[in-house]
Amino acid sequence: MTNASPVNPLRAQDVRDNPDLRDLVEVAQLAAVELVSMGASRAHESNTSAALVTPPELEVSIAINTLYPTTPQSGGSAFICSAQCHWRAKNEEAEVASCVVQYRVTYVFPGRTDALSKEQQVAFANHVALHTAWPFLRAKVQQLSVELGLPAFALPLRKMLADGGDGDGSNP
């Protein structure tokens, strides 16, 4: 699979403005959303002083990735959407906890006989598949943060922007 990471994962594009997506979305049917893998770890208290910090002193870094198939299929495509979170104590390098969650989002395209172009795969992965996987990623990251003994943490909301806004919240 090839990485198709979006520039801003919180900004979802109105597919009507993208010719690579417009025709695809009209025929696309969601076939499955499956948890592929998840993992979580928390530093052992004897390994680092950061494991003893209180919740308000934590910072979290997030990485979102989407992958598309390197060999396109004519009947449909599966995309991997993942979220990685790393919690650290403020002003320290030691990691307190981390988690990785991956979902496979599979779409079929009835009536299409040709495989998706690379441009279509990238656009579909970044905008449609990630938008589909986002609530699943949010829920699993929040569940894992609580299971790690951290404050409940949810990924930010991801909204479809109909007016071509930049996703920074300035457009209502």
Q: What is the pLDDT of residues 76-119, one digit of tens each?
A: 889 999 999 999 888 777 888 999 999 999 999 888 878 888 88
Q: Give the structural domain span for 84.
A: 2-150
Distance CA 10, CA 134 (A): 10
Chain position carrying tokens 């002083």 = 49
Residue 78's H or E segment, with its range, is strand 76-89
Burial of 72 (0-12, 13-18, 19+ CB in 10 A): middle
Residue 59 has pLDDT above 90, yes or no: no
In which band, very low, low, confident or very high, does the pLDDT at 25 lie, cut at 50, 70 and 90? confident
Lowest-pLDDT range of 3-7, 13-17, 85-89: 3-7
The CATH number given to whatever domain includes residue 146 is 3.10.420.10
Return mean pLDDT, the chain: 79
Residue 97's H or E segment, with its range, is strand 95-108
Residue 167 lies in a domain: no
**What is the per-residue pLDDT for 168?**
45
Residue 116 lies in a domain: yes
Helix, strand, coil % in the chain, rounded to nearest 5: 30, 35, 35
Residue 160 lies in a domain: no
- The percent of residues above 70 in pLDDT, for the chain, comes to 72
Total domains in the fold of the chain: 1
User: Where would I find the H helices in 6-129?
Assistant: 19-27, 118-123
Distance CA 123, CA 16 (A): 12
Residue 156 lies in a domain: no
Look up residue 70 and give its two tokens.
């390197």
Strands 159-160 and 11-12: parallel
Residue 130 lies in a domain: yes
Residue 127 has pLDDT above 70, yes or no: yes
Phi, psi at residue 43, to the nearest 5°?
A: -65, 140
Residue 97 lies in a domain: yes
Residue 172 lies in a domain: no
